[in-house]
Structures are given as C-alpha cells and as structure tokens.
C-alpha cells in the first residue's frame, strides 16, 4: 500500500476521480488522528450515488485500505475520509482536561471519543437513553465501555451514580470491584445476570412508586424537589452470550429499555455478534442510539446502523455513532489504559462488604420472611383448641399405650355398671369396638 500525504491527496484524488468520469473541485483537507477529511464539491449535475458505487475502485487506485464518502449536511461539499498511513492513538486522560469535557454538565456525560478533527465528543447517556455497542472481536468495544464508565466516574459522585456491570468474560471489569460506585460486585455468571436484570426492573417499579407519592414524573424532577436517588447505569459486555443463555433476557431488556429512562436506569449493551438473532427487532426498536465499531460484513453494519459502512472502518476504536435523530458521526474512541482505570478508581476504593449488595438484601429479606412464618406458626399453635391438643397427645402415645388406655377406660366403665370381669365376651367386644373406632378416626386424620 502506498503512503499518501496531505499535499499528495490534493493532486491525486481529483486525478483519480477524473479517471472514473467524476468532475469537481477539491476543498479543505483536514488531518485528524485517523483520517484525512477531504472536502470535495461535485461538478453540477453529478450524481452522488454514482460516486458511492465506485468508492471501492477509487480506494484501490489510491492504494488505501478503505474510503468512506458521505454528504455533509446543509453543504454543497461531500466528504472523503481517507485513512492516514499510521493511525494515531488518542489517550483518554488528556481528554478529561479538555474544555468540552469540563463544559459537559449533562445528567450522565459520556466521552464517546474524538471526531475526525480530533475534538472530544461528549454525549448525554440519559438522553440516549440507552446505548447499543457492536463490533467484531478486537474492534475496541471493551476499551470504549471503559472510557464511558470512566468519564461518568470522573464527572459524577458515588451518591449520584451507581453501576451494575455484567461481564461474562470475567476479566474486562474485574478492577471495578470494591468500588463505591458499584451497586453490587461485577456479575460474571449468567444466572446472576438474568436475576439482576429482573431486580433492576423491580427497582424501577419501586422508583415509580416513590415518584407517584412525591407527584413527580421523573428522576430529574425528583432531584429538583430535594430527593436523593442515584442514577443506575447497567453495562453488559458480550450481550450475545446472555441472550443465547436465556431468551427471556430480551423481554427484560425490552421492559427496562421502554420504561426505565424516567426512573434514571440506563443500559449500555455491547455485542460481538451483531446478527439479527442477537440484535433483534425488539432490541433495535428500544435502543435507537447505536455505536458500531468495525464489523465483519455489510450485512452486520445494516443490522446495527441500518446502513452499510461500518465494515470499512479501520478498527482500534474507529466507530460510527447513530443517534436517535438518525445522524451518523464517525468517532475515534479514546484509548483507556489499565493505569487510567486504576488512577481514576483509587480514591473510591472500598470494601464491598461495607455496602449492602442486592444478594445480601435478598438474603436478609428471605431470613425475615422465615422468621415471620415461624412466628405465625407458633401463634397458630397457641390458638389451637383443647380437643386438637388432646388429639396430638393421643397420636404421640403410640399404639401400645393407646390400647392400654382404652382397656383401662373400658374396664373402669364396666366396673361402674357392675360388670365383674373385663375378660367376659361382652366386655371384650365393647373394648374391640372402641379400639376399631379409634383406629378409623386416626386413619381419617
């Protein structure tokens, strides 16, 4: 592949385009961390769709891996995104000192990365209100998720924000354990993950009950009234594993995605497999904001973004963000190192036992329930009538003792009526009859 430099492009691109019969005028060339953004004004009467169809051949002729071409909204120019010979890495920590980051006073500010000119892109997760992240293996999803979590931690206090992190791979989020920001330890097994999603739905309902009492419509209004309630952000890395393990997860995600925005519960769901059996119609309908890193085929790009293009991304954090209003922006994710994570988290370390996790609360509730049940049983015991107590005592005696008592009582009654011998046939018959009746009664009980 031939190296291409900024000045080169100004000559080579129009030259190549004329080979394909495309005429126009080159505009500004901006060098970003990942691409040259080349603005180009097509000659009058030229068709953009014709150019789009030729873009792979143009890339081949220029000797670059892939070119993305898009129309600039409200402008006569179109934009060619031509990859740099060597992509630059954008580190995360300098972004936290940038004006854009400081200025972001959103409810849940996340740094998605930098735009193609290298300026930080901040978005409000609470407005999204959920985010679907897709991309092939090694495309930068986990690095991206870490940068979202860290930007939230940098901007919000633990009282304002709590995380639920689900990590089937077990290694991606382990450093977030023992954190004041964690609602519960990082979940790594599927059963707990499914249980946790339904607990979140329960938490959502409880929050609505509080809002109803306080006569407010959402968490924002509740905060304005002086109420204290943290936002909850649930991040799921490798959603495909979860939905394949338990299909009901789709329903749970749907319930949460539809109703949890006002309750301040937000989902960030990442998947390596952006196929239709993972990103189903229901999931898509409920998660309109989607971030696609490099995917392996145009079909996958269609599934995530409703358009092709994500298959031509460079990888290593290169992504396309589809917003709720349909705008598509190319963003390069910021690189988060383990050191960045450790440094950001250090002040908020705590022992997980200090915090009551969902598991502990659940166990406590179960214990309470057990105590209540046993107390009730004791009360019922006390309420029992005298007859029931005598009957219980009778049953505990055993057959031999029961026979003895019957013999004694019958003997006593016969003696009262002047019958001399209990061994006489009439006395024996009477005794047997009493015993049989007692047996029948005990069988019925």
Contact residues toward ligand ATP (CB under 6 A) are: 89, 135, 137-143, 272, 316-317, 333-335
**Which is nearer to ligand ATP, 15 or 170 (by Cβ)?**
170
Spatial separation of the C-alpha atoms in residues 365 and 98, rounded to whole Å:
47
CA distances to 95, 335, 356, 366 from 112, in Å: 11, 11, 32, 42
The site partner of 185 among Mg ion, ligand ATP, none (C-beta below 5 to 8 Å per kind) is none
Burial of residue 182 (CB within 10 Å: 0-12, 13-18, 19+) is buried
Nearer to Mg ion, 190 or 229 (CB): 190
CB of 44 to ligand ATP, least distance (A): 40
CB within 8 Å of 131: residues ≥ 6 apart: 125, 148, 266, 267, 268, 269, 287, 289, 290, 291
126 binds Mg ion (CB under 5 A): no
**231: partner contacted, choices Mg ion, ligand ATP, none (Cβ within 5-8 A by kind):** none
Structure tokens that stand for 362 in this block: 């659940």
Q: Of these partners, Mg ion, ligand ATP, none, which one is at the site of residue 207 (CB under 5 to 8 Å by kind)?
A: none
271 near Mg ion, judged by CB under 5 A: no
Which two structure tokens, joined as six digits, stand for 286? 């409920």
Out of 16, 115, 136, 142, the only residue in the binding site for Mg ion (CB under 5 A) is 142
The two tokens of residue 209 are 């009950």
Counting residues that bind Mg ion (by CB under 5 A) gives 2
Q: How far apart are CA 252 and CA 249, in angstroms?
A: 5
User: Which CB, 141 or 290, lies closer to Mg ion?
Assistant: 141
- Minimum distance between the CB of residue 65 and ligand ATP, rounded to whole angstroms? 16
Q: How far apart are CA 28 and CA 316, in angstroms?
A: 26
Q: Which stretch binds Mg ion (CB under 5 A): 36-44, 71-79, 142-150, 323-331?
A: 142-150
Query: What's the gap between Cα 49 and its chain centre?
Result: 39
Q: Please, what is the minimum distance in Å from the beta carbon of residue 138 to Mg ion?
A: 8
Q: Toward ligand ATP, which CB reaches closer, 40 or 92?
A: 92
Smaller CB distance to ligand ATP: residue 29 or 132? 132
CB of residue 299 vs ligand ATP: minimum separation in angstroms? Answer: 18
Element (H, E) at 115: strand 109-115
343 binds, among Mg ion, ligand ATP, none (CB under 5 to 8 A by kind): none
For residue 85, the minimal CB distance to Mg ion (Å) is 27
Our CB check for Mg ion shows the closer of 24 and 168 to be 168
Give 88's Cβ-side CA count (13 Å radius): 15
Q: Please, what is the minimum distance in Å from the beta carbon of residue 254 to ligand ATP?
A: 24
Q: Which of 282, 285, 192 is nearest to 234 (CA)?
A: 192
Given the complex with Mg ion, which of 67 and 268 has the nearer CB atom? 268
Choose the contact partner of 40 out of Mg ion, ligand ATP, none; CB within 5 to 8 A by kind: none
Distances (CA, A) of 86 to 9, 32, 55, 111: 16, 11, 21, 23
Cβ atoms of 317 and 332 within 8 Å: the answer is yes
Facing residues of 161 across strands?
231
Give the three-class secondary structure for 391: helix
From the CB of 274, what's the least distance to ligand ATP, in Å? Answer: 11
In the bound state with ligand ATP, the residue whose beta carbon lies nearer, of 120 and 317, is 317
Name the residue number minimizing CB distance to ligand ATP.
317
Q: Is the Cβ of residue 41 or residue 316 nearer to ligand ATP in the bound state?
A: 316
Site string (21-60) toward Mg ion, x via CB under 5 A: ----------------------------------------
Enclosing H/E stretch for 271: strand 265-271
* Minimum distance from residue 92 beta carbon to ligand ATP (Å): 8
Residue 137 or residue 380: which is nearer to Mg ion going by CB? 137
Q: Examine residue 146 and tell whether it contacts Mg ion (CB under 5 A).
A: no
The 3-class SS string of 177-194 reads CCECCECCCCECCHHHHH
Does 139 engage in binding with Mg ion (CB under 5 A)?
Answer: no
- In the list Mg ion, ligand ATP, none, the entry touching 32 (Cβ below 5 to 8 angstroms by class) is none
* Partner whose footprint covers residue 139, from Mg ion, ligand ATP, none (CB < 5 to 8 Å by kind): ligand ATP
Query: Residue 275 contacts by C-beta under 8 Å, 6 or more apart in sequence?
Result: 300, 303
Residue from 63, 20, 64 nearest 43 by CA? 20
Site residues, Mg ion (CB under 5 A)? 141-142
């Amino acid at each position: 592949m031939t190296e291409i430099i900024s000045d080169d492009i100004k000559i080579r691109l129009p030259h190549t385009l004329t080979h394909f019969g495309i005429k126009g005028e080159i505009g500004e060339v901006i060098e970003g961390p990942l691409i040259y953004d080349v603005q180009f004004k097509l000659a009058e009467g030229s068709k953009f769709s014709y150019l789009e169809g030729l873009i792979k051949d143009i890339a081949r002729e220029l000797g670059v891996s892939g070119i993305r071409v898009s129309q600039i909204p409200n402008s006569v120019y179109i934009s060619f995104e031509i990859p740099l010979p060597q992509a630059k890495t954008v580190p995360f920590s300098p972004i936290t000192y940038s004006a854009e980051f400081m200025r972001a006073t959103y409810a849940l500010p996340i740094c998605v990365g930098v735009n193609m000119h290298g300026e930080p892109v901040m978005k409000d997760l609470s407005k999204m209100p959920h985010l679907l992240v897709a991309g092939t293996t090694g495309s930068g999803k986990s690095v991206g998720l870490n940068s979202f979590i860290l930007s939230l931690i940098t901007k919000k206090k633990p009282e304002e924000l709590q995380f639920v992190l689900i990590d089937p791979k077990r290694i991606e989020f382990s450093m977030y354990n023992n954190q004041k920001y964690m609602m519960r330890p990082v979940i790594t097994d599927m059963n707990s993950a499914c249980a946790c999603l339904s607990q979140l739905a329960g938490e959502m309902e409880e929050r609505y009950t509080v809002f109803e009492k306080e006569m407010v419509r959402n968490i924002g209004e509740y905060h304005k009234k002086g109420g204290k309630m943290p936002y909850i952000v649930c991040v799921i890395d490798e959603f495909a594993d979860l939905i394949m393990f338990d299909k009901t997860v789709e329903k749970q995600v749907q319930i949460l995605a539809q109703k949890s925005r006002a309750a301040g519960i937000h989902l960030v769901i990442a998947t390596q497999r952006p196929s239709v059996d993972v990103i189903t119609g229901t999931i898509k309908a409920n998660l309109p904001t989607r971030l696609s890193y490099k995917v392996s085929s145009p079909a996958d790009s269609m599934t995530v973004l409703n358009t092709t293009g994500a298959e031509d991304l460079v990888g290593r954090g290169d992504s396309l963000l589809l917003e709720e209003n349909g705008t598509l922006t190319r963003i390069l994710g910021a690189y988060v190192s383990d050191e960045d994570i450790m440094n950001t988290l250090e002040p908020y370390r705590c022992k997980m036992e200090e915090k009551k996790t969902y598991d502990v609360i659940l166990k406590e509730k179960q214990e309470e329930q057990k105590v209540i049940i046993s107390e009730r049983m004791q009360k019922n015991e006390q309420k029992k009538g005298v007859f029931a107590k005598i009957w219980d005592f009778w049953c505990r005696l055993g057959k031999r003792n029961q026979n003895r008592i019957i013999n004694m009582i019958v003997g006593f009654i016969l003696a009262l009526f002047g019958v001399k011998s209990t061994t006489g046939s009439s006395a024996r018959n009477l005794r047997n009859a009493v015993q049989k009746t007692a047996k029948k009664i005990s069988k019925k009980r």
